[in-house]
Amino acid sequence: MQNPLLELRRPIPFDQIREEHMEPAVRALLAEATAAIDAIAASQGPYTYDSTLGALERSSEKLELVMSLIEHLESVSTTPALRAAYNAVLPDVSALWSSIPLNPGLWRVLVEFSNTPEAAALEPTRRRFLDKTLADFRRSGAQLDSDKKEQLKAIDRELSLITTRFSQNVLDSSNEFEILVEDEAGLAGLPDSAKQAARDNAQHKGKSGYRFTLQAPSLTAVLTHADDRGFREQIWRAQNTRATSGEHDNRPIVAKILELRKAKANVLGFRDFADFQLDDRMAKTGADAKRFIDELRERTESAFERENRELFSFRKELEGESAPALEPWDVTYYAEKLRRARFALDEEELRAYFPAELALKGAFTLAERLYDVRIEPVSGVPVWDPEVRAYRLLDSANVELGTFYVDLYPRETKRSGAWMHGLVAAVPPAANLAVFCLNASPPAGGKPSLLLHRDVETLFHEFGHLLHHCLSRVSVRSLAGTRVAQDFVELPSQIMENWCSEREALDLFARHYETNEPLPTVLLSRMNAARTFRAANMQMRQLGFAAVDLALHIDYSPEKDGDVLAYARDILQKHAVAPFPEDYAMLAGFLHLFGHPVGYAAGYYSYKWAEVLDADAFGRFKEEGVLSRSVGLQFRDRVLARGDSQDPMDLFVAFRGRKPRVDALLKRQGLG
């Protein structure tokens, strides 16, 4: 049988790949990769780069590409047969990946190679690849004796079970909750769309009236708009005491997860789980991440208090001098009222200036201006849907750096959201291959697809990931493109969002879809003013989560600190507007930290870290020209082209001339 997945060439024959090709191709390539890896592990010296790391890189290249294509097709044009094929092969493929750093033969070969004169004289990118590979193996326990290895395996097994249990408890206890409101009068304040959704929800469950749940849209609508404070309180309390009783009690589970993570870090020779997690990140240690969070909090506190005083005064304006202090379930509600009073920003009016096609062209034009590249359509390339288009990205010498597909509109077979998928991270002179997906509302009734401003930012964000992937010029595939530290990977994407609020950049693409007028200055300034509304509160909320995450994974000890929920509540309270009730237990529903063996554990800080990086890096454009090609070319050469071939802090310093500072972020937020 001809199987196109076994003889892939460019362009990828998307018109020929069928579900029935998938499992046989993966099985064949799995066997090939396993045999290649076994051969390296069993090989005898003398060892060279090519016979060790080089061979390891090659061993799974075809398998990676085919898995990447299947995963991609599962996201953009899934069918039950495709999903079945994917699910059938996934466990074996994952097992192969996770077995690599635990393979004692491979470890022996790599260590022996690392002691050769060739290894000592490797050029810097290959040297880094060797060091990082050895470190990855060590982080998986390759250097441990067999007792310790068994201990580690047992910890990992238990962590995987118990974090799954945590997630299920959150899901189950959330799903058990509902509020049924019989009378529409009880829904005062809620927008019609939220009422309609609640009515549909009740009907769907065979009930009368309006049904509210802890699902995000329902919860947010009540906390933001419901005039009935008792209604808001009821749903807020339910949300913040999820999974704290009965058979779905996560409280003992949180303590157990922390204990297991600490034990894992200790077995591997780290002081605590934060140091273990951050060892291969830009932040390097838990202490560094903590210092960063502390500094940002100190610089945010006074604005935070000012915003809180303003909010309370606003309540008194509405309800008189005797208005009671704000409770946790009042904050979002009054903040929304204040926002409306301050900013008459009509998102729909703004939308008319952001046709999706123009925004996409705008991202292209910006990349061409800044990075001296050219983006041109490619015709006659097989695609998975007739709406999908392909483009080529070329440098000024007409060398093709990458090809990418653009898939803009939703389909039933496509997952929701926006993303960039790097199909092939290539080593020069080969070209990269990528997919760029959005789910913009399709053109309808003679109107083009119009984006909200935040959707334009999302488009630019994902396009930034795409540029990071396609502009990569790294000579080792495993270190290429977006395969960088978790607290660095959002710099190339988030920096792109900055241009969406700059006049000079907006003039490249923001045009009214009927009149072709550029975005009026009054709309732009209103838009930019609205962005800083209650910025200190939003920041403190994120900092609270980051602080609690680090404290739990660095400092917390049950003997010294007692009940883990009370410990977390004390920390979160310092970042909140209103006093929490005694039973406040946000931690018991904190999926980011506890819903996965690793997830965002000890990594929540990276959201803010990335914002600091992107604001500070963009600061150079602000200083030297928002559309400056010379700054752009430096960003391309010193950051975008480098992947993980150098330490991310060195890349940042090479571009910015110094280490990151928080000032630019505070300024952008109107806080500094």
Residues that bind Zn ion (CB under 5 A): 493
> How far apart are CB 467 and Zn ion at their closest, in Å?
12
> How far apart are CB 461 and Zn ion at their closest, in Å?
6
Please state, in angstroms and rounded to a whole number, the distance separating the CA atoms of residues 574 and 582: 15
CB 95 within 8 A of CB 102: no
Helix ranges (H only) for 140-180 are: 146-176
Which distant-in-sequence residues (6+ apart) come within 8 Å of 637 by Cβ? Answer: none
Please state, in angstroms and rounded to a whole number, the distance separating the CA atoms of residues 657 and 279: 24
Nearer Cβ to Zn ion (177/607): 607
Among 74, 462, 490, 497, the active-site one is 462
Locate tokens 């097989």: which residue?
A: 382
Nearer Cβ to Zn ion (122/434): 434
> How far apart are CB 494 and Zn ion at their closest, in Å?
7
Per-residue CA distances from 601 to 276, 314, 390, 595 (Å): 11, 38, 38, 9
Nearest residue by C-beta to Zn ion?
493
CB 168 within 8 A of CB 253: no
> How far apart are CB 489 and Zn ion at their closest, in Å?
7
Which distant-in-sequence residues (6+ apart) come within 8 Å of 567 by Cβ? Answer: 551, 552, 556, 561
Please state, in angstroms and rounded to a whole number, the distance separating the CA atoms of residues 390 and 405: 4
User: Which residues does residue 422 pair with via DSSP β-bridges, in sequence order?
Assistant: 434
Please, is 428 exposed, middle or buried when counting C-beta atoms within 10 Å of its C-beta (0-12, 13-18, 19+)?
middle
> How far apart are CB 647 and Zn ion at their closest, in Å?
21
Nearer Cβ to Zn ion (125/493): 493
462 is annotated as an active-site residue: yes
Report residue 668 as tokens.
């952008």
Report residue 195 as tokens.
């009422």
> How far apart are CB 438 and Zn ion at their closest, in Å?
13
Nearer Cβ to Zn ion (492/595): 492
Nearer Cβ to Zn ion (222/438): 438
Q: What is the dihedral of CA 570, 572, 576, 580, to 10 degrees?
A: -50
Helix ranges (H only) for 450-604 are: 453-470, 491-498, 503-506, 521-531, 535-554, 558-561, 564-573, 591-594
Please state, in angstroms and rounded to a whole number, the distance separating the CA atoms of residues 541 and 520: 33
Nearer Cβ to Zn ion (480/610): 610
Q: What is the dihedral of CA 240, 244, 248, 252, to 10 degrees?
A: 130
Locate tokens 């260590």: which residue?
A: 111
> How far apart are CB 465 and Zn ion at their closest, in Å?
6
Nearer Cβ to Zn ion (406/420): 420
Which sequence positions are flagged as catalytic? 462
